[in-house]
Amino acid sequence: MADFRLKYFPKTRIATNDICAIGIRKHHIAAMIEIDVSGSREKIKQLKNSNARISLTAWLIKVISLTIKEYENVAAYLAGKRKVVIFKDINVSIIVEKDINGHKVPIPLIIEKANERSIESIFDQIAAAREHQLTDKDIVLHNKSKKLERFYYILPGFIRRLFWQYLLTHPHFAYSKMGNVAITSVGMLGKANGWFIPISVHPVCFGIGNISKKPVVVNDEIVIREMVNISILLDHDVVDGGQMARFISDLSGNIENGIAL
């Protein structure tokens, strides 16, 4: 008999599996873009040297939130078949990798009113979340697990997925639990040059990839620039193709121009 070992993953992984099962049913349109962040990264470096509490991730959350505020349909929830619900605030769900009982587990963190927050405030919340101690009974950072949430783990899979289906048909409930924007930067952890396409139940989701140096044409000259790969999932049920294209164009320009820095 072949040698092997059996490894159990934390209970928190169950929610991730359920989200993937429901997320693949969404009518997301995927866009893959490259953006020059050379100038913006230099500004961030200078701010860090002056002891500013800032990071590339915190700044990208701010820029994405500000741009979405100009294109509110991008983060809208479908209500029935002919209406959308547009929330005033941009509440962003991000992933913070935590060590739980010896396992690296991705745990969601909600950054509320990200469009109104300072970059330092966003940075501080992410930093605090990384230091926050969790157990395998926690689903969301800084949300105390309730009995109902703990009961979730022992339910059969089809009932758990019915919960997510119910959540998505009740926009106010969904917004209160997971915000209206998802951003994952797990692609920045590796060195692979490419895009990763996340699966999400949010109206709009961003996958931030690795930063690499590439030759690009600037003012008719070939120069080496720092480029970031970003994939974007946009819900075609709530936003049309033309608005998608304009949103992506403005977002690219905002990131390249280093707005809010």
Give 95-147 as a 3 state SS string. EEEEEECCEEEEEEEEECCCCCCCHHHHHHHHHHHHHCCCCCCCCCCCCCCCH
Look at the chain and report how many structural domains it folds into.
1
Is 107 among the domain residues?
A: yes
Is 3 among the domain residues?
A: no
Is 206 among the domain residues?
A: yes
Whether the Cβ atoms of residue 61 and residue 122 lie closer than 8 Å to each other: yes
Q: What is the mean pLDDT of the chain?
A: 87
Separation of alpha carbons 137 and 149, rounded Å: 9
- The pLDDT tens digits for 32-72 are 999 999 999 999 999 999 999 999 999 999 999 999 999 99
Residue 59's CATH number: 3.30.559.10
User: What's residue 244's pLDDT?
Assistant: 96
User: What's residue 18's pLDDT?
Assistant: 85
Is 5 among the domain residues?
A: no
Strand partners, 33: 230
Q: For a pLDDT cut of 90, what percent of the chain falls above it? A: 56
Is 7 among the domain residues?
A: no
Question: Which domain covers residue 112, as residue numbers?
Answer: 12-257
* Average pLDDT value for residue range 92-118: 83
Query: What burial class does residue 56 get, using C-beta atoms within 10 Å of its C-beta: 0-12 exposed, 13-18 middle, 19+ buried?
Result: middle
Strands 204-218 and 221-235: antiparallel
Least confident of 7-16, 34-43, 59-68, 111-120: 7-16
User: What's residue 142's pLDDT?
Assistant: 47
User: What's residue 138's pLDDT?
Assistant: 52
Strands 181-184 and 204-218: parallel
Is 89 among the domain residues?
A: yes
Is 149 among the domain residues?
A: yes
Q: For a pLDDT cut of 70, what percent of the chain falls above it? A: 85
- The pLDDT tens digits for 220-238 are 999 999 999 999 999 999 9
Is 6 among the domain residues?
A: no
